[in-house]
Amino acid sequence: MPEDPEPTAPEPAAQGPDLREQMAQAVRRSGLGRVAPDQAPSAATLLIAMGGVRGIVESILPGLLFLISFTVTRNIWASVAAPVVIAVVFIVIRLVRREPITSAIVGALGIIISAVIALVTGRPENNFVPGFFINGAILLAMLVSLVARRPLLGILGSLLLSDPEWRQDRAQLRVAYIATWFWVGLAVIRLGVELPLYLLHDTPALAAARLITGVPLYAVILWLTWLVMRTAWTAPVRVEDTPPS
């Protein structure tokens, strides 16, 4: 009677990327990921990081339409409908051109939620309330990372460059603190400018402030972050030091 063949160990199932790699991939797809610290600064790359010309238009146009509509009509329905319509148009354009629509859908959902809040409350300035929560979350995340001595921009940079030992480098750690404070400043400026206008119920001024502190200020902070982090994150020699606990 022939012997039974020895059982063979089953081949391990193919595993997908671990959590760190998944996070790294998500960061690389973001605006920060498109201007990694090891790249040379250029206006063209910054434009790509902001989604190109169309990405900038998709970010600015809904808010601009709200401002124009409300200034001209003072009608809350017309004011919130214009951004929603243009957001849907952006989705349709992407579908027709067979391009990814995830970012367009996320943007449209944000616009729709803002519109619903404004309509339900009957206060046009409430169209901007979700933005306050978003900037508040950014501010909180940055401050918590600073208090924990794990500056968030350093974490993002380490994911981009696959450098888990970045905190051992004094220069990289110092630059990560500076870059993270830039984003604290972004949120503080936005909230500091917009909240008083919201409390004054000055919707046109609030809409204009949101436009100014939106894409233009974001571009400035992104550029400064990029320039500052390049000073240490492209250095070939690591300066070892004991990081703060």
Q: Quick check: 13 pLDDT over 60? A: no
The predicted pLDDT at position 22 comes to 65
pLDDT band at 85 (very low <50, low <70, confident <90, very high): very high
The predicted pLDDT at position 123 comes to 95
Report whether 60 contacts 68 (CB < 8 A).
Answer: no
Structure tokens at 151: 């500056």
Write out pLDDT tens, residues 101-154.
Answer: 888 899 999 999 999 999 999 999 999 999 999 999 999 999 999 999 999 999
Residue 244: closest CA among 177, 193, 194 = 177
What sign has the CA pseudo-torsion 184, 124, 82, 73?
negative
Q: Name every residue whose Cβ is closer than 8 Å to that of residue 186 and which is 6 or more positions away in sequence.
A: 135, 138, 217, 218, 221
Determine how many CB atoms are found less than 10 A away from the CB of residue 86. Answer: 18
Report whether 124 contacts 118 (CB < 8 A).
Answer: yes
Report the alpha-carbon distance of residue 216 to residue 193 in Å, rounded.
14
Write out pLDDT tens, residues 15-61.
Answer: 445 656 666 666 666 666 666 555 666 677 777 777 778 888 999 99
Report the alpha-carbon distance of residue 117 to residue 110 in Å, rounded.
11
Report whether 222 contacts 32 (CB < 8 A).
Answer: yes
Write out pLDDT tens, residues 162-190.
Answer: 777 888 888 899 999 999 999 999 999 99
Structure tokens at 143: 């401050």
Structure tokens at 49: 């990081």
More reliable by pLDDT, 149 or 240 = 149
Write out pLDDT tens, residues 182-225.
Answer: 999 999 999 999 999 999 999 999 999 999 999 999 989 988 88
Q: Quick check: 10 pLDDT over 80? A: no
Report whether 129 contacts 117 (CB < 8 A).
Answer: yes
Report whether 38 contacts 161 (CB < 8 A).
Answer: yes
The one-letter code for the residue type at 83 is: P
The predicted pLDDT at position 188 comes to 97
Q: Quick check: 231 pLDDT over 90? A: no
